[in-house]
Structure 1
């Protein structure tokens, strides 16, 4: 993180996700401080998996599924654990052949 980082809670979500080996195998997508994961770098919105994590305004971390709240946690590590627990078994990156 840069010394003048204005968004330490968003970075904390990324760090907590990186600490989870299964999440390191996926593509992290961060948009508007929301963090979600995909199994492909090509059109990641089509290969979105699991829950979305976001820092809430009141200091908690929200976990959502299709826009609906699933849980609120006190730490980003707890939010990451919820995301991992909800992933399908055997999940890994989607491998596409060259040219399609």
Structure 2
């Protein structure tokens, strides 16, 4: 994960492209630096795991025409619009779930089947 952040920040040719100001502001925030950064389609997504399939349950930042928009996870609901990337990062952090810790390596684990769960009728 540290490698991914480093490649994004250095503009490595093999790294995905994202808004450098948003990437730097997110990297400066310890809670976001512990997550997996995934720039795509003009937005910076934060993942709880490092490989597909993603959990995709965290808010994300998109650079707008005059500022930065913070969206709720998997939604078109705007949590807020900010003038600076630092304000956008603060808004994301304010909406992180309490159980949001560092990203786990690999895909998001499949839920364990419930014991003695028989076929549904």
TM-score, with structure 1 as normaliser: 0.78
How many residue pairs were aligned? 89
The answer (yes or no) to whether the contact 2:38–2:46 under 8 Å persists in 1 is: yes
After TM superposition, what 4+ stretches of structure 1 lie above 3 angstroms from structure 2? none
Question: Paired residue for 2:59?
Answer: 51
Helix, strand or coil at the partner of 1:41: coil
TM-score, with structure 2 as normaliser: 0.65
The answer (yes or no) to whether the contact 1:63–1:72 under 8 Å persists in 2 is: yes
The answer (yes or no) to whether the contact 2:50–2:105 under 8 Å persists in 1 is: no
Question: What stretches of structure 1 of length at least 5 have no aligned partner?
Answer: 3-8
Task: Looking at secondary structure, tell me which structure has more strand per residue.
Answer: 1
Query: Rg bigger for which structure?
Result: 2
1:73 aligns with 2:75: no
Question: What stretches of structure 2 of length at least 5 have no aligned partner?
Answer: 1-9, 12-17, 111-121
